[in-house]
A = this chain, B = another copy of it.
Amino acid sequence: MSHGDVDPEVEMTSPHWMHRDAGSRPRTHTFWRLERWRSSMLLLVGVALCDLAPGCSATDTDIALDAKATLNHRIQSLDLLVFVFLLALTVLTIWLFKHHRVSWLHETGLAVIYGLIVGAIIRYAGTSATLVHMQVEPQGVPTYSDKLPPDTLWFRYPVNQTNGTKQPELVHTYAYVFRGQVHDVDENEIDLKATFDPEVFFNIILPPIIFYAGYSLKKKYFFRNLGAILTFAIVGTTLSAFLIGGFMYGCVKLMPKYLSSSFTFLDSLYFGALISPTDPLTILAIFNDLRVDVNLYALVLGESVLNDAVAIVLSGAIQNYGEHYSSTGEFETTAFLRSLSDFFSIFLLSLMIGAAMGCLTALMTKFTRVRDFPLLESALFVLMSYSTFLLAEATELTGVVAVLFCGICQAHYTYNNLSEDSRQRTKQIFELLNFLAENFIFSYIGVSMFTFPKHHFDAGFIITAFICAAIGRAVNVYPLSWLLNIKRKPKISSNFQHMLFFAGLRGAMSFALAIRNTVSDERQTMLTATSLIVIFTVVIQGGAANFLLNWLKIPVGVDDETEQLNNYQVHSDVEGGGVNRGKMRLSGGTDSNLDTPVDGPNGSLGGASGGRRRNSHEKAILARIWGNFDTKYMKPLLTHSRPTLLETLPVCCNPIARLLTTTQQLTQDGSEFRRVDSDSDICIDNDTGNGLSQDATGAGPGTGTVGVGVGRRNSLSRVGGDHRNAYI
C-alpha cells in the first residue's frame, strides 16, 4: 500500500488512518481521540477486508463511502453536541448566578467565556487528524479566461489500483463543490471543526432574535419617540460607520504592512458599518437596571433594535457599491449617490415587505376561523413570520429589516386576532428561541476564536479597530445627545451620556456580518478584530456596567411608577390620553383609554401622540396622522376592533366595507370589545421584559385573559419580575 511515485502536480496527503503522521499540522480537522480511534479501526477493517477479497472493488468503495458518510454524521453530531452542552452549562450557571445574585458577569459574557474555554480545549487538547486532500491543477494552464472558479469539479478518480496494473479499468467520477479560497496552502486548511456555515446565522439564528425584538417592542413609546429614534439609528449609525471607516482607512494606510496595499476604502467602510450596531440585549438589561426615563429607555431600545437593521442595509449598500459601481475601491460621487438611494430603497422596501406580510397574516387570522384550531393558528403565525424573512432575502432585500417590521405588525394587528392559546404559545416560543439563539451565537463567538480556520491576527489592525469603535460610539452618543438636548425637556445628563457611551456593546449582528464573508485576507482580519471587540465589550464592559452605574452615581432602582409620574409631571401636565401605563392602568380599573368610542379616532398610537400633544407638536404630527389612520382604517380592516370600516369609510364604499367587516366585529358589544383591546394593549404597551414574564405568570392557575396583567414591572417575585432583565 505504498503511494508510489506521486506526480508533483497531484500531491496527496496520506490519510490519517493509514500512516500516523497526524498532529504535525496546527490547524487540521481535530476531533476527539475516541472518535479517531474508532474510525481508524473501522476503516482499517474495511481496507484490510478489501485487500483480501479480490472482486469487491466497487461494492467495497461504496461501503467505504457509507462508512465515511456515517463518520461525517457523527462528527456533525459531536459538533452540535458541544454547543448544546455549552448552552445547557450556560443555563445552569446563569441560574446559579441569579440564585446568588451575582451581578458582575452578564450571562452573554458567561456564554462567551465558556465558548472560549471549550474552543481552546477543542483546538489544543485533541490530537489532530488531517483531512485527506489532493492538489489538482488544470493541465493546459492559460487557456480559459473566467474570473470565477467553477462551481463544481468533476474528478475522475481511478479506484482499485492495488495490484499495480496500469489500465484504469474502474474510474469513478466524483463531484466536489466549491468551498472557498485557500490562502496559505501550507498551513490554512479548510476544515469544519465545530464551525458552522455563516449562512446558518442569517437563516436560522438571527431571524428569531430580530423578530422577537419587533414582536415584543414597546410600541407606544417607540412610535412616540419615532423622530429621535430614527435620528439616532439612521443618522447616528451611518455617521459612526463612515467615521470609523475613515479613521480605519487612514490608520491602516499609515501602517507599514501588506494591509495598506490591499485594504481599500470600501473595506474600511464595510468594517465601519459592521462594527457600528450595538447589541440590544445588553443595553436593554443595563437600562432596565438603570430604570431611566421611560422615553429615554424606549429611545435607546428602539435605536439598538433599528441599529441592527440600519447596519445590515448599510453594509449591503457598501458591498453593492463595490460590486456595481466601482472597480477600484476609490470614491465616485455618482456611484455614492446611487448607493445611497440603494440604501434607502432597500430599507423601505424591506420595511414594506415586512409590514405587508404582517398585515397579510392579520387578514388571514381575521377572515378565517383558523383560531378554532390553535395549533394550526400558531403554525401559520410562525410560518408567515419566517417566510417574511425568506421572501425579503430572496428578493435581494434585507430579511432582518423585514422581519423586524413584520414582528411589529404581528404584535400590533395579528396578536389581537389570535386565540388566547396562540398568543401565549407564540410569545413563549419566540422568547425561548430568542434566548437559545442569543446564547448560541455568543457561545459560538467564543468557540470560533479558536476553531474557525479563517482568523487573521494583526495586532495593529485590532488595536486601531478598538480605538475606532470607541470613537464611533462617542460620535454616535455625544453630539446627537447634544442635538437632542436642544429640544428635549428632561435633558440627557452627562452621566447618562457616559453611560450610553459605555453601554455600546457590540454583539450578534456585528459578528454575523463579519463572519458572513471571509474570502479575503482583509475580511479575515476584520472578523478577528470584530470577534475580539465583541468578546471584550460583552465580557468586560457588560460586567463593569453595574460598577459604573454606581460610580457615575446614576440612580439605580428608582421605582418605575414614581419615575414615570415624575417624568410626566415634569414633562407636562397630562390628563388621560394614553400616557399612563403599567400599574397605573391596572389601578385605574377598566379605563381602556385607547380606542374607546369616547376617545374617538384617537387610537393607541394617536393616544401616544396625544400625550405629547402640548409639548412637542412638531414631533407628534407624524405619529398623530398615523395613529388616526391606524384607528380609522388599519385596525378595523386587520383586526376585529371597532369602529368598523362601515363607520369610518365614506358611504359610497359601503359594499366593500361590509365585505371587510366580520360578523364578530359587528355583533360584539362594547365590553367585549374593550376587553379584547385592553388586553392587546397590555401586550403592546408592555416593555419587553415584562411582556413575557408576565405571561409566564398569566399562564398559572386562576389567571386568564383579563388577569393577565398582574405581575408587572414592579412585582419583584422571582417568577414574574426578578429575572426580567436577564434573558430578554
A529–B719 alpha-carbon span in the complex (Å): 53
Residues of B close to A490: CB separation below 8 A: none
Interface size on A, residues (CB 8 A): 175
Please determine whether B436 and A379 come into contact, CB atoms closer than 8 angstroms.
yes
Which residue on chain B has the smallest CB distance to residue A372? B718
Which residue on chain B has the smallest CB distance to residue A385? B84
Residues of B close to A285: CB separation below 8 A: none
Please determine whether A155 and B137 come into contact, CB atoms closer than 8 angstroms.
yes
Residues of B close to A67: CB separation below 8 A: 323
Which residue on chain B has the smallest CB distance to residue A378? B432
Is the CB of A138 closer than 8 A to any CB of chain B? yes
Residues of B close to A117: CB separation below 8 A: none
- Give A367-412 interface residues, CB cut-off 8 Å to B: 368-370, 372-376, 378-380, 382-384, 386-387, 390-391, 393-394, 396, 399
Please determine whether A701 and B707 come into contact, CB atoms closer than 8 angstroms.
yes
**15 pairs from A and B in contact (CB 8 Å cutoff):** A46-B323, A59-B264, A69-B517, A69-B519, A78-B390, A84-B386, A87-B379, A87-B383, A88-B380, A91-B379, A132-B150, A134-B138, A173-B183, A372-B719, A373-B726
Instruction: Give me 13 other A-B pairs in contact (C-beta within 8 A), A131-B151, A132-B148, A379-B432 excluded.
Output: A50-B327, A58-B262, A61-B148, A84-B386, A87-B379, A98-B373, A135-B155, A141-B158, A141-B168, A375-B435, A421-B696, A421-B700, A700-B704
Is the CB of A329 closer than 8 A to any CB of chain B? yes
Residues of B close to A368: CB separation below 8 A: 92, 95-96, 99
Please determine whether B199 and A390 come into contact, CB atoms closer than 8 angstroms.
no
Residues of B close to A141: CB separation below 8 A: 158, 168
Is the CB of A625 closer than 8 A to any CB of chain B? no
Is the CB of A431 closer than 8 A to any CB of chain B? yes
Name the residue in A94, A374, A517 with the highest tally of chain B Cβ atoms < 10 Å from its Cβ.
A374
Residues of B close to A714: CB separation below 8 A: none
Name the residue in A135, A149, A390 with the highest tally of chain B Cβ atoms < 10 Å from its Cβ.
A149
Is the CB of A15 closer than 8 A to any CB of chain B? yes
Residues of B close to A12: CB separation below 8 A: 144, 146, 150
Which residue on chain B has the smallest CB distance to residue A133? B152
Residues of B close to A614: CB separation below 8 A: none
Provide the A307-339 mask, 1 if CB < 8 A to any CB of B, else 0. Answer: 000000000000100111001110000000000
Residues of B close to A134: CB separation below 8 A: 138, 150, 152-154
Is the CB of A559 closer than 8 A to any CB of chain B? no
A349–B723 alpha-carbon span in the complex (Å): 39
Please determine whether A95 and B176 come into contact, CB atoms closer than 8 angstroms.
no
Which residue on chain B has the smallest CB distance to residue A3? B144
A45–B179 alpha-carbon span in the complex (Å): 24
* A43 CB to nearest B CB, Å: 8
Residues of B close to A719: CB separation below 8 A: 372-374, 419, 421
Provide the A435-451 mask, 1 if CB < 8 A to any CB of B, else 0. Answer: 11000000000000000
Please determine whether B73 and A199 come into contact, CB atoms closer than 8 angstroms.
yes
Is the CB of A425 closer than 8 A to any CB of chain B? yes
Is the CB of A702 closer than 8 A to any CB of chain B? yes
A74–B389 alpha-carbon span in the complex (Å): 11
Provide the A158-176 mask, 1 if CB < 8 A to any CB of B, else 0. Answer: 1111101111100011111
A682–B535 alpha-carbon span in the complex (Å): 47
Provide the A700-728 mask, 1 if CB < 8 A to any CB of B, else 0. Answer: 11111111000000000011000100110
Q: Which of B47, B81, B149, B431 contacts A172 (CB 8 A)?
A: B149
A88–B42 alpha-carbon span in the complex (Å): 45
Please determine whether B425 and A718 come into contact, CB atoms closer than 8 angstroms.
no
Which residue on chain B has the smallest CB distance to residue A519? B65
* A600 CB to nearest B CB, Å: 30
* A2 CB to nearest B CB, Å: 7
Which residue on chain B has the smallest CB distance to residue A420? B700
- Whether A65 touches B181, Cβ cut-off 8 Å, given contacts A142-B165, A161-B145, is yes
